[in-house]
Structure 1
Amino acid sequence: MPSKFLYPFWGSEHLCPNDFFEILISKGFDGIEINIPIDPIFETTFYDVLNTVRKKNPDFVVVLQQVVGKQKETPESYLKTVMNRLESLIHHQPNFINSHTGRDYFSFEDNCRIIRAIESFSETNNIPVYHEIHRGRFTFHTSTTLQYLEKFPNLKFVGDLSHWCVVSESMLQDQEEIINKIIPKIYHIHARIGFEQAPQVNNPFAPEWHAYLNQFTQWWQSIIDYHQPCRTITITPEFGPFPYMPQAPFTKLPLANQHNLNFEMKAYLKSHLK
């Protein structure tokens, strides 16, 4: 089954919902991935525009993100904030929620309580929740993620392997066995190229990053191969703005255009993924 490509709202916060939807539809994307701003006016407009788009295209894919900011908090206060956020997303009827779950410094037991609550929310509301592989979350590290997977074997992940490259300061060449165990659990891909020292290269199509582009493409192909022909894998090209995008000193000009990279990555993967 062919993959579906989603466009991220990250980096387009200056746009109103109407303008953003117009861009992603004109560029041929199949859906949207968004961490809805905490702004009643924006959210109301977003809801109305989304429903209009869905009436024209019932197959339009909507992925909402659960991302809470850093603050001084206990596991209990964090969990309360997360559950309130998840509840607020229900009425948008997302295809699934991308959850930035837990904290890397919470204990294993505390993160397990958080995971258990989120998984219960998912089952109760019949909304799939995928947990993003990301620095700072319970998924921040390869082998520790396996420990959670042993306790919760039905977990599903958003695959953003760039974060593991940074955490391990490697291209995971010595962790192939772990990656092979995680690949079957990845249901959504964030298509961004990272390297040993950062989660995003300046331009993945520059010749100096060719080997990195090939490695990530191989990982993504393995994910798709595992799930074919049973399910469609969604892919969000996810090159972001500063601080993910490197800037020139003094002028602070970005070294590449974030949006053009995402458009180019979609075209590249359409022609290179089988």
Structure 2
Amino acid sequence: MQISRFRSIWGVDPGANLEKWKEWFPCLKRLGYSGVEVDILVLNPEHDFVLLRDICDHLDLKISVVIFSSLPQSQGLRSTGLNADIHLQRYREQLQLAAQLRPVKINAQDGQDSWAPDESVKFYKGTLQIDSELGLSGVVCHETHRSRSLCNPYVTEYILEQVPDLRITADLSHWMLVCERILDVRDDDRAVLAKVIPHVHHIHARIGTTQSSQCPDPTNPVFREERQCFERLWQWVIKERFEQDGDNVHITFVPEYGPFPYHPYGSQKFYGAVADDEGARLQAFFEEIGGKLTPA
């Protein structure tokens, strides 16, 4: 079993000519990261792509790319009248750009929560067609994210029933917040998760709570119940991937802890330190799980 840990660049200024990243990325390598996950919206394709690829090639760091079928909420109010066809046009454009970076994973925040479920089904069927046309089948994972089509487990279950080849990025912190409960306690929740988890091929490993998508320190005893829930769910994902992929399983994960307003105001620990500490802790945790699953 191969486990690759990616560091999100969320909230970290690249600087002119990516100079700040160029100084920072060797530190990530020393911390044990396998690669970086990069938001395509912060890059200038004509100028930054070659620089980023050169920096990562020099350090032997992999690249995962985040794309958006419409601007994220942090960029301002969402335009009205955006249907599946409009999202698919932007999805194709973003995918063509992302492919230039030769990513091992492309994480898509896409669709929108206000659609009827069948509009989302139309969209995701279209994404698979575009993936195939661009030679990217199996590379793209669609994120469980608030404001997007996969905003809760129940609508996601419906979409996956109609689009069974869809691959998912599990950011379950969003679902715990949307559902406002520990996710794997109720029988009905577990039944839905059992249908979703086989589709998970990428993990955004952020621990949230029933009232916040990011807790300030996952190892604090006050978050014990939430931490144990997420660890059970991630263990479930790894076991499922092992059952499907056997010795060829490759787990990719991002300890995706971001700045305020995700990181609670006044926290004693900087969000970047939380990401790095959690990344190392979960790397060991995932390796322990994998060691128990891999045949001797």
**TM-score, normalized by length of structure 2?**
0.83
Distance 1:240 1:55 in 2: 26
Q: Which residue of 1 aligns with 2:74?
A: none
User: Pairwise mapping of residues 135-146 of structure 1 onto structure 2 (< 5 A)?
Assistant: 135-146=146-157
**Shift in CA distance, 271/96, structure 1 to aligned 2, threshold 3 Å:** closer
1:36 paired with 2:40, answer yes
Q: Secondary structure at the match of 1:181?
A: helix
Distance 1:170 1:29 in 2: 32
State the Cα distance separating 1:255 from its structure 2 match: 3.9
Q: Which residue of 2 aligns with 1:125?
A: 134
Q: Which has the higher helix share?
A: 2
Distance 2:223 2:46 in 1: 38
Gaps of 5+ in 1: 249-253
Q: Which residue of 2 aligns with 1:232?
A: 250
**What RMSD over aligned residues (CA atoms) do the two structures have, in Å?**
1.9
1:191 paired with 2:205, answer yes
Q: Which residue of 2 aligns with 1:71?
A: 78
Distance 1:191 1:153 in 2: 24
Q: Which residue of 2 aligns with 1:62?
A: 63
Q: Which residue of 1 aligns with 2:196?
A: 182
Distance 2:95 2:154 in 1: 28
State the Cα distance separating 1:14 from its structure 2 match: 5.0
Give, as a single letter, the amino acid of the residue that structure 1 aligns with 2:208: G
Q: Secondary structure at the match of 2:41?
A: coil
State the Cα distance separating 1:167 from its structure 2 match: 0.9
Does the 8 Å CA contact 1:31/1:61 hold for their aligned counterparts? yes
Does the 8 Å CA contact 2:151/2:175 hold for their aligned counterparts? yes
Q: Which residue of 1 aligns with 2:29?
A: 25
Q: Which residue of 1 aligns with 2:294?
A: none
Distance 1:71 1:24 in 2: 34
Distance 2:98 2:280 in 1: 31
Q: Which residue of 1 aligns with 2:173?
A: 162
**TM-score, normalized by length of structure 1?**
0.90
Q: Which residue of 2 aligns with 1:245?
A: 263
Distance 2:8 2:112 in 1: 23
State the Cα distance separating 1:166 from its structure 2 match: 0.8
User: Pairwise mapping of residues 81-100 of structure 1 onto structure 2 (< 5 A)?
Assistant: 81-100=90-109
Q: Which residue of 1 aligns with 2:11?
A: 11
State the Cα distance separating 1:126 from its structure 2 match: 2.3
State the Cα distance separating 1:36 from its structure 2 match: 2.1
Does the 8 Å CA contact 2:96/2:134 hold for their aligned counterparts? no
Give, as a single letter, the amino acid of the residue that structure 1 aligns with 2:260: F
Q: Which residue of 2 aligns with 1:251?
A: none
State the Cα distance separating 1:46 from its structure 2 match: 4.2
Q: Secondary structure at the match of 1:109?
A: helix
State the Cα distance separating 1:43 from its structure 2 match: 6.0
**Shift in CA distance, 256/129, structure 1 to aligned 2, threshold 3 Å:** same
Distance 2:42 2:228 in 1: 38
Does the 8 Å CA contact 2:142/2:168 hold for their aligned counterparts? yes
What number of residue pairs does the alignment pair up?
266
Distance 1:171 1:43 in 2: 44
State the Cα distance separating 1:51 from its structure 2 match: 3.1
Distance 2:66 2:42 in 1: 12
Does the 8 Å CA contact 1:33/1:65 hold for their aligned counterparts? yes
Offset from partner CA, 1:177-236 (integer Å, 9 cap, x none): 111221111111111101111111111111111222121111111111121233111010
Q: Which residue of 1 aligns with 2:125?
A: 116
Does the 8 Å CA contact 1:101/1:114 hold for their aligned counterparts? no
Gaps of 5+ in 2: 72-76, 290-296
**Shift in CA distance, 20/47, structure 1 to aligned 2, threshold 3 Å:** farther
* 167-176 or 70-79, which deviates more: 70-79
Give, as a single letter, the amino acid of the residue that structure 2 aligns with 1:8: S
